[in-house]
Amino acid sequence: MSSPIYTTLARQQGLMHEMQSVANNLANSSTTGYKSDRAIFTEFLVSTGTSADQSLSMGGLGGHIFQMEQGGLNFTGGRFDLAIQGEGFFRVETPQGERLTRAGHFQLSAAGQLIDMQGNPVLSAGGNPINIPEDALDVSFGADGSITGNGQIIDQIGIMRADGQLQRDSNTYFSAEGGVVQAEDAKLVQGALEQSNVSPVLEVARMIEVQRAYEAGQALLEREDQRISQLITAVRER
């Protein structure tokens, strides 16, 4: 296979990854707490011969980078709808372990435990499930995450940041292998939900750009295939 075909195929594969990112962003443009992501690529060399200068520059998916800009706030008035202003995440305990999320659409379980929409317990600043007493009235959340009911402090919801790199676990869940630390400047807003930070207009424009680049690569592959076929035919006819 010729070098142009190798490089174009690698480019086409990268564009497919980019298109998948765009499609996922568009699908989650109305998902509470969703953060858009971008595919990033790395260059590597592939040997094409025996000498050191016989190599081909190729590209491949290196990972994803998340756009962590604040999404707009949608004020719902829900008692257990919470949004974070500034840096930080809520902590939830999932069957796969502790995860971080900006999706603050919470509710109470039948046992009075604060849970997210998947039924996972929301964790306190100390890393424990939060239980709201049955007789607690006028439950409110302070800007620092403190939870009060009947004029008494019940607990404090954890607002943390990753101590290292974030890894997306699902659309709204992130994992932090390096652990978490307290987010110092974050503020909690009760009765509001953070909207997705995806800009549909920009994503559609990006999708068109990627599609055009893919079509151009496909046309190049077809021309290269025709060139090779013509060369083989010419050699056979000698």
Q: Is the pLDDT of residue 2 over 70?
A: no
Q: Which residue has the higher pLDDT, 149 or 5?
A: 149
Q: What is the per-residue pLDDT for 57?
A: 64
Residue 196 identity: S
Residue 43 identity: E
Q: What is the per-residue pLDDT for 171?
A: 86
Q: What is the per-residue pLDDT for 66?
A: 84
Instruction: Answer yes or no: are the C-beta atoms of 14 and 213 closer than 8 Å.
Output: no
Q: What is the per-residue pLDDT for 15?
A: 83
Going by pLDDT thresholds of 50, 70 and 90, the confidence category of residue 52 is low
Mean predicted confidence (pLDDT) in 91-106:
95
Q: What is the per-residue pLDDT for 45?
A: 64
Cα angle, residue 92 at apex, residues 98 and 169 outer, rounded to 5°: 60
Q: What is the per-residue pLDDT for 70?
A: 93
**Half-sphere exposure for 43 (CA within 13 Å, toward CB):** 3
Pick from 197, 185, 186, 169: nearest CA to 93: 169
Question: Could you give the 3-state DSSP secondary structure of residue 111?
Answer: coil
DSSP state, residue 217: H
Q: What is the per-residue pLDDT for 181?
A: 92
Q: What is the per-residue pLDDT for 169?
A: 87
CA distances in angstroms from 205 to 107, 121, 211, 212, listed in the order given? 37, 39, 10, 11
pLDDT in tens, 8-51: 777 778 788 889 999 999 999 999 999 998 877 776 666 666 55
pLDDT in tens, 138-180: 899 999 999 999 889 999 999 999 888 888 888 899 999 888 9
Q: What percent of the chain has pLDDT over 70?
A: 88
| Rg for the chain, CA atoms, rounded | 25
Q: Which residue has the higher pLDDT, 116 or 227?
A: 116
* Global pTM value: 0.79
Going by pLDDT thresholds of 50, 70 and 90, the confidence category of residue 73 is very high
Label residue 193 exposed, middle or buried (CB < 10 Å: 0-12, 13-18, 19+). buried
Q: What is the per-residue pLDDT for 100?
A: 96
Domain boundaries along the sequence of the chain: 3-68+198-236, 73-194
